[in-house]
Amino acid sequence: MSEKLIPNLLVEDNKFCPGCGHGIINRVVAEVLEEMDLADKAVGSLAVGCACLMMDTFGTDWIQAPHGRAAAVAVGVKRVRPECCVFTYQGDGDSLAIGFSETMYAALRNENITAIIVNNGIFGMTGGQMAPTTLPGQRTTTSPQGRNADTTGQPVNIINQIKEVPVGYLARGSVDTAKEINKLKKYIRTAIETQMSGGGYSLVEILSPCPTNWKMTLEASLDHIKTKVKETYPLGEYVKNGERVDA
Ligand SMILES: Cc1ncc(C[n+]2csc(CCOP(=O)(O)OP(=O)(O)O)c2C)c(N)n1
Ligand code: SF4
């Protein structure tokens, strides 16, 4: 008997660069939706960035919002189709720069949607510009001397912004090791379970490599996440069933 290795939702090979974290995250999301029997009920909302490459290869229904507005569109879909599993899939530039307001207000209203935010610390598709999540000192195409937090502010930690208000589920995962990918899958499953049981807003932020714009090998990119990015963005669950579970 042949073993099913690739989720049916991944209808074509992805178009991400070699070593990109988006490909792993796509697979994890697809596995969770299929295992929960939600593939036919899922509606994704995305806007711009490398996430958009999914629309041709990830076989669920998609709506493309204007830059940053995926959360607002997802809220509209969920309110009129509450039986659907409605999720946003966005990069950090999209969801936390132009879309910061939409992301925050969906959380502040505890809207019953799931936000998936892929934090690679830069604007990927447009060539590696500084994002709200760029680490202090990190060189990007628009901060060639390294990000100066005195003039550009501290990195945005969306989970710290949201964890003080009533929401259903908040977690931060990573794709830098197989163990972390397994944990990430549990986080995404719990987030979607929260939504489908009417438990309110759920968000999973994911630390993800962009070897192309970091100008690093994949190995160096994963090491960068382990040794640098996690210091600023600690992993784990922060809110579960509407209660704080972080220390
Ligand atoms: C209104 C508008 N402004 C700017 C852009 C250009 N733009 C396209 S993708 C992108 C950055 C996306 O970065 P991010 O959300 O971090 O996703 P990544 O590509 O890194 O996965 C920008 C600024 C646009 N498409 N529309
Ligand atoms: S530019 Fe970066 S985020 Fe975009 S597909 Fe390539 S590696 Fe992934």
- What pLDDT is attached to residue 168? 98
Residue 211 CB less than 6 A away from ligand 1: no
**Three-class DSSP category at 173:** strand
1: pLDDT confidence band, cut at 50, 70 and 90? low
Please write the tens of the pLDDT for every residue from 146-196. 999 999 999 999 999 999 999 999 999 999 999 999 999 999 999 999 999
- What pLDDT is attached to residue 4? 67
Distance 128 CA to ligand 2 centre (A): 9
Q: How far apart are CA 213 and CA 44, in angstroms?
A: 26
Q: How far apart are CA 46 and CA 77, in angstroms?
A: 13
**H-state helical runs in the chain:** 21-35, 70-80, 92-93, 100-108, 149-152, 158-162, 178-196, 211-214, 218-224, 230-232
Please write the tens of the pLDDT for every residue from 196-230. 999 999 999 999 999 999 999 999 999 999 999 99
Reference 177, options 22, 32, 21; nearest CA is 21
Residue 118 CB less than 6 A away from ligand 2: no
Distance 149 CA to ligand 2 centre (A): 25
